[in-house]
Every structure is written in C-alpha cells, then in structure tokens.
Structure 1
Amino acid sequence: MFELRRLRLLHELSLRGTIAGVAASLSYSPSTVSQQLSLLEKEAGVALLEPDGRRVRLTPQGRMLAAHAARALELDEAARAALTAHAGWEPVRMSAMPTAAETIVPAALTLIAERAPQLRVELAELPPEESLFELWARRFDLVIAEQYPGHTRERRDGVEHDLLGEDPIRIVLPPAEHPLPLTELRDRAWVMEPEGTAARQWAVQQCRAAGFDPDVRFEAADLTAHVRLVASGHAVGMLPDLIWGDEPSPLTVADLPGSPVREVFLAVRSSSRADEAVDVVRTALRDAFAAHRRVAP
C-alpha cells in the first residue's frame, strides 16, 4: 500500500521538475524529499527516478505512478470535503491578484465573518501566472485571476474557471491633463507591467493597433507604482477600474478604442467544488463583486 504523503511528493516532482522545487513548495528539506521518494521506490518495487545531469527525472514508471497519484489526491480531497461538511471546516487557502486582494477580498471577508464566523480564510497576493499554477499544484484552494481580451488563460486538467465579472480598462494621464485618445500618446513615456505578463502583452498590442510602439520607460508589477508615476507627470498608462475601489480616480482617464474589459474569474479544482467551505468563500466573492460600485471616472 502506498503512503499518500509520498505519492504527493512524486506528484509535486512531476509538476515542479526538481527536488529543490518540491522541498521549497512543501517546506521540507531536499534531503527529506529524496529520502521519502526512495522509500516510495521501495514500496513500488521499480525505479521511479533516474539521473538527469545533476538532477533527477521521472522514469516511465514514475510518470505512470505520478498520474495515479494525482487521481488519489483528488479522491482524498473529495473525501475530506465530504467529511468536513459534518465535522467542521478546514481553512480555505486563497490567492488573489493585487487589485482583487485590495478591493473585492476585504468586502468578501466581511461577508464571510457574518455568515460563517468559524471559517478561517488565508490569503496570498500573487499574479495570476503564478497563482493558477499553484492552485493546480494544491497550494491554494481558490484563485481570483483575470484574462485580457484575446489572451485566454491556460486551462489545466481538473481546474474549473467561473466568471466573476468584467472590469473596464482605460487610459490614465496626469490629473492636470485633458483626456486624450490613444493615437495622440505615441510620443509619451509609458508605465506597464513586466514583460511576459498578459497585461503587458495586451497593452503593447493596443498601442500597436493605434499605429505605434510604446516607449515603455517604466516597468512595475505593483499598480500603485503606476498610479504614482502617472500622477507625478512622468508617464501615461492603462489601468483597470477595479484599482480605484469605490473611490473616483485621482487621475485623468480616457476610454480606449472599443471600450475593452478584462474578465475577472474564480478558479477552483474540480475535486473541491463540493467543499462547503470553499463554496462559502466563492459565494461571498461573487456577492462582493456584484455589490461593488465603482465610481465612473
């Protein structure tokens, strides 16, 4: 009989690719991970790992057992969800993109405190690119993420996406300026999110569609930095309305061609959809988003 804890280590190795990555994710030492995987090999009676330079990789038998491990973890999660419905709730681990963590999540936590005061919710603020992978790897139970027009997020097996709502994206300029169309901003300095993010790719494409490549002079993952750079007159940018919360924008805003919106969605593993605690959090997030009244810029 295989020990589930060791099967999870094998599953994690199939996702993360290195012993060090598994150890960092699960707060183990690399030597402990290696030792437990060696014990799993003895239980299996076949080689599960083989050398790959200074690292290791899964053998064909290792990949086969890792696939079975993923299914065993899903069954374990579903069984725990069924039991906790009668014996009390486990903490719900949630990750949210920054704009949602700062606006929607606090309102949802207030609703949860009223509806289920015994439920513990843990939050990490991470970009969607990282949090969606970690949801798949079982670090989180629920993720709030976004996708920009024409940039659909990768769908992984066993993970479901539910639309939470739409969030308009607009041009932002310094407060003293008048609204300007995108075509008149070709000679301005821009602030955008880092290379490789969906937000950056989308924003650059908007500028190119308007006939120019933006002069991205400033790059920041923190959208608060965008606001301050624009407010001080050093840049222009594109920001979603959600960043303002329920307050009016302190910047001058202008509509983009076509009035684009990004989709804000919830992602959960299929095996945890029946978890009552996760459902309480999902419902509170939906209600918080629906009740959220952004002041029109």
Structure 2
Amino acid sequence: MSVERLRVLRELADRGTVAAVAEALSMTPSAVSQQLKVLAREAGVALLEPDGRRVRLTDAGRALVVRADEVLAAMERAATEMASYRGSPRGQVRVALFPSGAALLLPRVLAELAGSGVEVVARDEDVPSSEVPRLLADYDVVLTHRDERSPSITGPRVASRLLMREPIDVAVAAGHRLAGKGAVVPGELADETWISVRSGFPVDDVLRSIATITGVQPRIAQRLIEFSVIEALVASGYGVALMPRHAVRHPDLVMLRLAGVRAARVYDLATRPHAEQRPAVAAVLAAFRSAAERATAEPS
C-alpha cells in the first residue's frame, strides 16, 4: 500500500469530507476519491460507504486508519533518526493552546526553547477536549483542559499526557457580601447570579457540581468564553463567577476558595501516538513540563 494513499485515508478520518481533504492536501476532490479507490483495491476490502451525500469509513476503513497512523509515525521516526546524525533536535512544531493556558505557559515554553533550533508555531484554539482529535489533523501538540473528574482523551489515535492541575476559585466583587471570607461552601452561593463560560468547558462542569450539591439550578446571566470579560462583569457587580486560579488578572476581584466540592481543571498535552519520538516534539513536551512545574510552584 502506498504511504501517500494511507495519508489521504487518515486525512479523511480527521477531516470528515473529501472536499476538506482535497483542500488540506492541495489536491482536487476527484484526485482524492481516486486515491481512496486505489487504496481500497490494494486492501481488497471496502474502506468507505455512502452516508447521505457524503461517505464515511467502514469498520475496515477505521481499522486501516489506526495502522496508517502507525506507518506514518514509523516514517517520521525514520526521518528523525536520520536527522539525529545531523545534530541536535530542530524544526518547526505546530502547537494549539487554549488562551488562558497559553498566557500562563507559552512565554515560559518559548524562553525554554530559545536558541535550541526548535521553532514553536502557536495558535489559540479553545475547544472542548472531545474535539482535540480534530485539531491533531493540523497540529503536532495540543494543550487542552478538562474537569479533573472527566476521563482522559487517550485513545487509539490520541496520546494524552496530564500536565498540571489548577484549582478553580469563586470570584466576587470587592463589595460583595462574601468578600471578607477566605472560603465559601456551595450552599452560600445558591442565590447568586452567575457569569459563566459556555457549556462543555471545565468551569461549567464545576458549576453543575455546585447545582447538584445545593439542589438549586444556578441563575446564569451571561455565558462568555473570554475570562477578561467575565472578570470585568464580576468586578462591576453583575454577578459572581468560577475562575481558574492562575487565570485571574483583574485587580478589583476577591478570590474565595471553594470548599466541599472538587473544583479544578487539569491541563493535558495531546499528540499523535509516538509523536514524542520526533526530537523536536519531545523538546516541546519537555518545555511544557518545565513551564508547568514553575507555574504551579509560584505563589498565587
């Protein structure tokens, strides 16, 4: 089987449509379809089946995608071994990060890698962890976050590594009735108006836990994705919010520890399986680990 045809099949598994594969690989849709037909003949089994106006992978197609990952990883390892004879790890590593995690860790990562020959090309991508496999079609490393009670996204096509744990606190305005307390229990928050994030993100998972404990459905006035906007609204007295401890920047907020409920998000680093065997990717992963250790060691 052709390695390039296996790459086309993997792209279809990642991107979902022939048109998207064609755009990603700078091919025409008809050329993509032809490559997939040839691959099916080589495999001797149907790899695709109709799904409305599109196509989807058969069970055999999904099984072959897993093997394609292994073959393409082996090709990268071979290239890496040759590169190792030419000197230190070098090259470009594409990294996706959620914004608050990027603000905390990316400056440290770039400082760690300065002068190493490894170039990090970073983009902000804030999606639920369930969407990380889609991001790995375009990135070598994805920094994502999830509620600490949620399962790891490690699977046949994703390798996920726990990087750090970040507590989630309650943010209130300086004049709020609870501002003088160092910590609060969920029952004290039952009547509050909340400024929260979109559903599916770790902070919202903790808010749902509070609802379970108190038996009161939270009154959510706004759902926003940008923490700086949430902070501004809370500081102005429009509600209270749950905030990851290291993400807080607003000087007029009072942060309260949340007692009686597991309240934290964890950071994961996701790659394709075996990606760390490429020295440049391994260097980036190591830089993230070092950055996380320093971030969590600093007083909040």
Query: What does residue 98 of structure 2 align with?
Result: 97
Query: What does residue 139 of structure 1 align with?
Result: 138
CA 1:32–1:175 in structure 2 vs 1: closer, same or farther (change >3 Å)?
A: farther
- State how 1:238-249 maps to structure 2 within 5 Å: 238-244=242-248
Structure 1 residue 256, shift from structure 2 partner: 0.6
Which of 253, 256, 259 matches 2:258?
256
Inter-partner Cα distance in structure 2 for 1:197 and 1:48: 35
Inter-partner Cα distance in structure 2 for 1:54 and 1:6: 23
Gaps of 5+ in 1: none
Stretch moving more, 104-113 or 55-64: 55-64
Structure 1 residue 171, shift from structure 2 partner: 0.3
The one-letter amino acid of 1:90's match is G
Is 1:270 the counterpart of 2:269? The answer is no
Inter-partner Cα distance in structure 2 for 1:176 and 1:170: 17
Structure 1 residue 195, shift from structure 2 partner: 1.8
- State how 1:125-136 maps to structure 2 within 5 Å: 125-127=124-126, 128-129=128-129, 132-134=132-134
The one-letter amino acid of 1:145's match is T
The one-letter amino acid of 1:288's match is A
The one-letter amino acid of 1:93's match is R
CA 1:271–1:94 in structure 2 vs 1: closer, same or farther (change >3 Å)?
A: same
Q: Is 2:232–2:250's contact at 8 Å kept on the other side of the alignment?
A: no
Q: Is 2:234–2:240's contact at 8 Å kept on the other side of the alignment?
A: yes
The one-letter amino acid of 2:100's match is T
Aligned-residue identity in percent: 31
CA 1:27–1:207 in structure 2 vs 1: closer, same or farther (change >3 Å)?
A: farther
Q: TM-score, normalised by structure 2?
A: 0.83
- State how 1:186-201 maps to structure 2 within 5 Å: 186-201=190-205
Structure 1 residue 233, shift from structure 2 partner: 1.5
The one-letter amino acid of 2:162's match is L
Inter-partner Cα distance in structure 2 for 1:58 and 1:148: 31
CA 1:125–1:210 in structure 2 vs 1: closer, same or farther (change >3 Å)?
A: same
The one-letter amino acid of 1:209's match is I
CA 1:185–1:59 in structure 2 vs 1: closer, same or farther (change >3 Å)?
A: closer
Is 1:286 the counterpart of 2:289? The answer is yes
CA 1:60–1:187 in structure 2 vs 1: closer, same or farther (change >3 Å)?
A: closer
Which of 227, 234, 241 matches 2:238?
234
- Secondary structure at 1:103 match in 2: helix
Q: Is 2:206–2:263's contact at 8 Å kept on the other side of the alignment?
A: no
CA 1:249–1:170 in structure 2 vs 1: closer, same or farther (change >3 Å)?
A: farther
* Count of residue pairs the alignment pairs up: 290
Structure 1 residue 267, shift from structure 2 partner: 2.6
Structure 1 residue 85, shift from structure 2 partner: 2.5
Stretch moving more, 38-47 or 9-18: 38-47
- Secondary structure at 1:270 match in 2: coil
Structure 1 residue 190, shift from structure 2 partner: 1.0
Is 1:113 the counterpart of 2:117? The answer is no
Q: Is 2:231–2:250's contact at 8 Å kept on the other side of the alignment?
A: no
User: In the TM superposition, what whole-angstrom CA distance separates every residue of 1:58-111 from its partner, at most 9, and x where no partner exists?
Assistant: 345544543432321221222223223234623111111221111211121012
Structure 1 residue 31, shift from structure 2 partner: 4.1
Structure 1 residue 7, shift from structure 2 partner: 1.1
Compute the RMSD of aligned alpha carbons: 2.8
The one-letter amino acid of 1:218's match is Q
CA 1:257–1:60 in structure 2 vs 1: closer, same or farther (change >3 Å)?
A: closer
- State how 1:173-184 maps to structure 2 within 5 Å: 173-177=172-176, 178-179=179-180, 181=184, 182-184=186-188
Structure 1 residue 236, shift from structure 2 partner: 1.0
Inter-partner Cα distance in structure 2 for 1:20 and 1:206: 44
Inter-partner Cα distance in structure 2 for 1:241 and 1:25: 38
CA 1:27–1:176 in structure 2 vs 1: closer, same or farther (change >3 Å)?
A: farther
Inter-partner Cα distance in structure 1 for 2:46 and 2:173: 62
Q: Is 1:183–1:211's contact at 8 Å kept on the other side of the alignment?
A: no
Inter-partner Cα distance in structure 2 for 1:130 and 1:27: 27
Stretch moving more, 234-243 or 180-189: 180-189
Q: TM-score, normalised by structure 1?
A: 0.84
Inter-partner Cα distance in structure 2 for 1:94 and 1:74: 18
Q: Is 1:131–1:143's contact at 8 Å kept on the other side of the alignment?
A: no
